[in-house]
Structure 1
Amino acid sequence: MTNPFTGQIIDTLFANDTPTGTTLMRTAIRLLALGAPITVEQLAAAAGVDPAELATAPAAADIEYDERHRITGWGLTLNPTPHRFTVEGRLLYAWCAADTLLFPAILDRSADIESPCPATGTIIRLTVHPDTGVADLDPATAVISLPGPDELDRTMVRTTTCNPGRYFADASAATTWQAQHPTGLVLAVADAYRQLQPINQRVLTETSTPEDR
């Protein structure tokens, strides 16, 4: 059962979305994981949909493009962020800490994560497996922050949802963050992984595309 907190996040992020939009996002994440920019036409062909459907997709306003209007980031990105996401030897990045817990299942690949605590500078390291979740967390006390649903704005997903989502060395290091985001959650990493899984279920089951078959 979807917990109320995650349910509110899903309702905000996927409001007015279509199954085709979610298919495009899922396909883009998988293509970007190969380590190169993708054209809108390549994405649409891989997803089997009309390129015009991109406008209905989750976080479409935040999609990153290069000077040739190729997609370089959509949750998973080729552009540096605090969240390093290494999959099959390719160094990529994620928009937020929560994404690092979600994308291994979408990719069906394990990923090694490194992200600095904004309060202490400690580098949090972990591996996330697509089937078994979090492993080798260091430090073991690390937590993750999730902004409150009342902060989320689907027209500014990266600003309101992604940027506040960070790894912290421990709960005490997140004290200032919690004071700034009183309706948000600070969770042990394994707990956050479990609470976020309904989002993955939505992304993975929203339709099927040729690469899913």
Structure 2
Amino acid sequence: MLATEVGLTEGQVEAELGRLAASGAISRDDSGAVVAAGGLAVTPARHRLLLGGHGYWTWCAFDGIGIPAALELDAVLDTRCPACGAGLRITITAGNPPAGSPVVGWLPGGPCTNVQDDFCPEANLFCTEAHRATWRQTAGDPPGTAATLYALAETGRQVWADLT
């Protein structure tokens, strides 16, 4: 059915889905159905996102800020600070996170051949800059950049610009 819609053979579609899954751009369930794409999932993950009145999950906290920012939508992201385990709730209004929040994000650097394996596990939000610094030291000083919620939203608008 998808093959017919896009004018490809089933083999070509399956090869492309396999390539996307290998790069971490999509996730598939045991039946082969796509259950996540571009960071937004319909299956449980670490970060919960209420977007457009529907509940989803995201692969990383950056997705939870960046996707609603790019779409200029209201959203609520529920996640946890990896340094202390405290729950964090970020309310996004018309794509904009709250101004002046002490919450800080981490955008991992370094090689990334599979976004879900190489980027998302460390792309988190932290209660404070001190928690981010403690986590980074404990994690072995991984490469990357600290970012405010505003900076995460701006970067998200660029990353997901093709959604708009």
Which range, TM-score by smaller chain? 0.7 to 0.9
Q: Which runs of 5+ in 2 are unaligned?
A: none
- Is 1:121 aligned to 2:82, yes or no? no
Greater strand proportion:
2
Determine which of 122, 136, 143 is the counterpart of 1:164.
122
**1:99 aligned partner, one-letter code:** D
Who is 1:30 aligned against? none
Q: Which residue of 2 aligns with 1:144?
A: 105
Q: What aligned pairs does 1:1-213 form with structure 2 within 5 A after superposition?
A: 41-42=1-2, 45=5, 48=6, 50=8, 51=13, 52-55=15-18, 57=20, 60-62=22-24, 63-74=26-37, 75-105=39-69, 109-129=73-93, 131-135=94-98, 140-148=101-109, 150=110, 152-154=111-113, 156-179=114-137, 180-201=140-161, 203-204=162-163
Q: Which amino acid aligns with 1:115?
A: T
TM-score scaled by length of structure 2: 0.77
Give the TM-score of the pair, scaled to structure 1.
0.61
Quote the offset at 1:135 in angstroms.
3.2
4+ aligned runs moved over 3 Å, structure 1: 41-45, 52-57, 105-109
Q: Tell me how far apart the structure 1 counterparts of residues 31 and 47 of structure 2 sit (CA, whole Å).
A: 25
Write the distance in 2 (CA, Å) between the matches of 1:96 and 1:53. 24
Matched-pair contact (CA < 8 Å) for 2:95–2:153: no
1:189 Cα deviation after fit: 1.2
Shift in alpha-carbon separation, 1:126–1:72, aligned structure 2, 3 A: same
3-state SS, counterpart of residue 146 of structure 1: strand
The count of aligned residue pairs is 155
Q: For residues 193 and 55 of structure 1, do their structure 2 counterparts lie closer, same or farther at Cα, with a shift above 3 Å needed?
A: same
Identity, % of aligned positions = 26
For 1:161 and 1:44, the matched residues in 2 are separated by 34
Mapped contact 1:84–1:92 kept (Cα < 8 A): yes
Q: Which letter does structure 1 place at the counterpart of 2:35? A: T
Q: Where in structure 1 are there 5+ consecutive unaligned residues?
A: 1-40, 206-213
Q: Contact 1:178–1:185 at 8 Å: present in 2 too?
A: no
SS in structure 1 at match of 2:98: strand
RMSD: 2.8
CA distance in 2, matches of 1:42, 1:102: 28
CA positional deviation for 1:66: 2.1
For residue 103 of structure 1, report the CA deviation from its aligned partner: 1.6
8 Å Cα contact 1:79-1:92 kept in structure 2:
yes
TM-aligned CA distance change 1:193 to 1:109, over 3 Å: closer
Between structures 1 and 2, the one with greater helix share: 1
Equivalent AA in structure 2 for residue 77 of structure 1: A
Q: 1:104 to 1:49 in 2, by over 3 A?
A: farther
